[in-house]
Structure 1
Amino acid sequence: MTTPAETTLDMRGLRLHLPGAARPVLAGIDLTVAERETVALVGESGSGKSLTSRSVLRLLPPGATTEGVIAVQGEDVLAMNAKRLRHLRTHTAAMIFQDPRAAINPLRRVGDFLTESLRLNADLSDDTAAERAARMLDAVGLGERVLGQYPGQLSGGMLQRVMIASALMGDPALILADEPTTALDVTTQAEVVGLLDDLRERFGTGLLFVTHDLGLAAAISDRVYVMYAGRIAETGPAQAMFERPRHPYTAALLRSTPRLATPQGRLAAIKGQPPSLREELTGCPFAARCAFTTPVCTEELPPHVPVRSEPTRLVACHHSDELADQLAESALHD
């Protein structure tokens, strides 16, 4: 576990409400990222992963209301005025979005895209901003010539590298990567993941990596948070969680992950659908889809408790201890 002195991002009790929703979209999220640490946030589509990461920069839907604390380097984001929030977004924390082509204006040169924020918000000269842009492009494996090119002249992998360079322009303490490899082929995915890992270590940056790909999460992360229906189901060191899951949802996600060693045929699937935001929830959010549900699961919300003999792991399941061996076995077999 990280100490306060090491913590870059400290999210405590974050609740997010949207107009018309019968329950919070995020229901009490506790999450930390330390300096030079990579933390993965995994789960199905609609679980609240992207909203969690966007909340750090207060990039929220219209009408959204929040409760709790989001502290970046000790400063509460939810209490920031407009000036401090602008500084946060241009210097302290940066977002890498899923689709680089949707994030870059196709009519502007890459150099203009990279330098605009620093020229407007850091009062740097054009030459100084361009020099930093060239250094950041070099850091991500692209040449200075890219500064004069348009987005349409670059491949998807090159554009994602430009987005990473853009995130580094303000020398951030925290990078939020929102499924940054989804639109890329497998080879380019591996290159981008390796690049992010190298830059994290080189620049001392904390990285929150949002993904639905458990293989990627295992490859890049130090710790993992598994998210379901706006709540954290389980968290802990990546290797321990993937080798021995303690929540039925984590085990189900692992069981549905393709493996070369498993028999051919249809992949295992999680029965049912995630709960709708139009319905309130009682008890465990995963109870309706869980093979181990008992009456207490539908009646009482399970608290987050430490896993026995593994204090760095937390799990929200009424039957985690008694199911430990079954979950570990089921995660490895269909």
Structure 2
Amino acid sequence: MTIPEKTPTLEVQGYRLRLPGTARPVLAGVDLTVGAAETVALVGESGSGKSLTSRSALGLLPPGAVTEGTLRVAGDDVLTMTPGQLRKLRTRTAAMVFQDPRAAVNPLRRLGDFLTESLRLNDGRSDREAEQRAVEMLDAVGLPASVLGRYPGQVSGGMLQRVMIAAALMGDPALILADEPTTALDVSSQAEVVALLDDLQQRFGTGLLFVTHDLGLAAAISDRVYVMYAGRIVETGQAEALFERPRHPYSAALLAATPRLDAPGGRLAAIEGRPPSLREELTGCPFAPRCPVATFECTQQEPALLPVEGEPGRLAACHHSDRTGEVLAHG
């Protein structure tokens, strides 16, 4: 799908999402963009709101969800779409690669039926046209056409995730949402899938939002990074600069807790405490109870996401963004 050159494939502005029975919004004013032919990583601990943000881009909202703000894919606001428009969005404009490929397919159906179904039912393609497209996409992900005749249980996890990526490309989408796409795979398959996504993104010029809790993977694949905590973006910037010098204590703590081959021996650093419960109202900075450099100001006033002086494109939501080195030293 082609969109105007300067139109982001994904544009989220002031996006808030609240669920029944929660004391605070699950997503609290998220701002995020993914440009055409750009790979953006969204990182954070489990429960931070990463997956809910990515699923919202397809209009996949939990029951009872109440939303505010705008969420545009290829220039169209997802939150105002009709059911018919949402079906078109999910089959042509955007696609998702889920973390567990076996949960996304019917084990009793051949993979060829899975790959071609959308084109046959939603695009009106003939069986031959849909199969030809499937063969092209399988070739793009390094799989032979014979995979069309196999069942999910007859291929490895790594091969099945490649099939999922081929399925995501079938409609020539402007945006791919990869939600923890390597979690269910072994280490060698993880590396293959990450390299494949990177290669395909460059070849097809597709915008890619890569959701992960693994900062090593984020560093390997992304152009820009958003760090999320308690439903908020707490830091964003170019991947290389953010990983070299994080400006939010949470980003620094995540990096300190990431296994590294060149790290000294002993136990890995850990982030003390736990993420805030959705049953708790928040006062001040959400990370303050776990932050080793927090002050009284942090417990009383929530910091805004503001530009970092001297670093274009870099934003951080921290009253003490110049003290992140202390967090690394603490770890």
Letter of the aligned partner of 2:201 in structure 1?
R
1:213-260 per-residue CA deviation (whole Å, 9 max, x = no partner) reads 000000000000000000001000000000000000000000111111
Q: Which residue of 1 aligns with 2:114?
A: 113
CA distance in structure 1 between the aligned counterparts of 2:274 and 2:96, rounded to whole angstroms? 29
SS for the counterpart of 2:124 is coil
Offset, 1:11:
0.3
Q: Which residue of 1 aligns with 2:252?
A: 251
> Unpaired segments of 5 or more residues in structure 1?
none
Offset, 1:8:
1.0
SS for the counterpart of 2:51 is helix
SS for the counterpart of 1:310 is coil
Q: Which residue of 2 aligns with 1:153?
A: 154
Offset, 1:325:
4.5
Q: Which residue of 1 aligns with 2:229?
A: 228
CA distance in structure 1 between the aligned counterparts of 2:188 and 2:245, rounded to whole angstroms? 29
Could you tell me the percent identity over the aligned residues? Answer: 73
Q: Which residue of 2 aligns with 1:290?
A: 291
Q: Which residue of 1 aligns with 2:96?
A: 95
CA distance in structure 2 between the aligned counterparts of 1:316 and 1:76, rounded to whole angstroms? 27
SS for the counterpart of 1:245 is coil
Offset, 1:311:
2.2
SS for the counterpart of 2:313 is strand
1:92-241 correspondence to structure 2 within 5 Å: 92-241=93-242
Farther off after superposition, 57-66 or 200-209? 57-66
SS for the counterpart of 1:7 is coil
Offset, 1:4:
8.1
Q: Which residue of 2 aligns with 1:326?
A: 326
TM-score after normalising by structure 2: 0.97
CA distance in structure 2 between the aligned counterparts of 1:268 and 1:203, rounded to whole angstroms? 39
> Unpaired segments of 5 or more residues in structure 2?
none
SS for the counterpart of 2:131 is helix
Q: Which residue of 2 aligns with 1:275?
A: 276
- Change in Cα spacing, 1:296 to 1:4, as seen in structure 2 (3 Å) is farther
Q: Is the contact between residue 288 and residue 299 of structure 2 (CA under 8 Å) also seen in structure 1?
A: yes
Farther off after superposition, 155-164 or 65-74? 65-74
CA distance in structure 2 between the aligned counterparts of 1:305 and 1:324, rounded to whole angstroms? 16
SS for the counterpart of 1:225 is strand
Offset, 1:324:
4.9
Letter of the aligned partner of 1:303 in structure 2?
A
1:270-297 per-residue CA deviation (whole Å, 9 max, x = no partner) reads 0000000001001100000001111111
Letter of the aligned partner of 1:291 in structure 2?
P
Structure 1 residue ranges, 4+ long, deviating more than 6 angstroms after superposition: none
Q: Is the contact between residue 7 and residue 75 of structure 2 (CA under 8 Å) also seen in structure 1?
A: no
Offset, 1:64:
1.0
CA distance in structure 2 between the aligned counterparts of 1:324 and 1:121, rounded to whole angstroms? 50
Q: Are residues 1:84 and 2:85 paired?
A: yes
Q: Is the contact between residue 14 and residue 68 of structure 2 (CA under 8 Å) also seen in structure 1?
A: yes
1:120-147 per-residue CA deviation (whole Å, 9 max, x = no partner) reads 1111111110110111001000000000
Q: Is the contact between residue 49 and residue 230 of structure 2 (CA under 8 Å) also seen in structure 1?
A: yes
Letter of the aligned partner of 2:315 in structure 1?
L
CA distance in structure 2 between the aligned counterparts of 1:289 and 1:216, rounded to whole angstroms? 25
